[in-house]
């Protein structure tokens, strides 16, 4: 087994990196938006009861809103 110094000195002796896994970015972004939507509902209920501040609602809404252009970008990138 080569040492780290040998690998740094002779990078051609390393194994090639495996290919990057393929992922459906639109599906990943939709899952993220679903999590933000659940967090928004929880934050909204907590803010209405006075257990949390309204900034949590704004943060969750922003996360949800930023997902929409992300999905458009992912779908355009796929095509």
Does the pLDDT value for residue 79 go beyond 70?
no
The full DSSP string for 5-34 is HHHHH-GGGSPPPPPPPP--HHHHHHHHHH
Is residue 67 packed enough to be buried (19+ CB in 10 Å), middle (13-18) or exposed (0-12)? buried
pLDDT for 12 equals 78
63 found inside a domain: yes
Please name which of 30, 67, 32, 61 lies closest in space to residue 44, comparing C-alpha atoms.
Answer: 61
Question: What's the pLDDT band for 23 if we cut at 50, 70, 90?
Answer: confident
17 found inside a domain: no
Can you give the residue range of the structural domain that contains 55? 23-78
1 found inside a domain: no
60 found inside a domain: yes
39 found inside a domain: yes
46 found inside a domain: yes
pLDDT in tens, 37-67: 999 999 999 999 999 899 999 999 999 999 9
For the beta carbon of residue 64, count every other beta carbon within 10 angstroms.
Answer: 17
Number of structural domains in the chain: 1
40 found inside a domain: yes
Its pTM stands at: 0.71
């Amino acid at each position: 087994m080569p040492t780290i110094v040998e690998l740094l000195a002779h990078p051609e002796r390393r194994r090639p990196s495996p290919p990057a896994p393929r992922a459906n970015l639109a599906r990943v972004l939709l899952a993220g938006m679903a999590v933000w939507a659940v967090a928004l509902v929880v934050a909204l209920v907590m803010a209405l009861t006075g257990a949390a501040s309204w900034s949590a609602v704004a943060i969750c809404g922003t996360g949800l809103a930023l997902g929409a252009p992300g999905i458009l970008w992912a779908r355009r990138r796929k095509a």
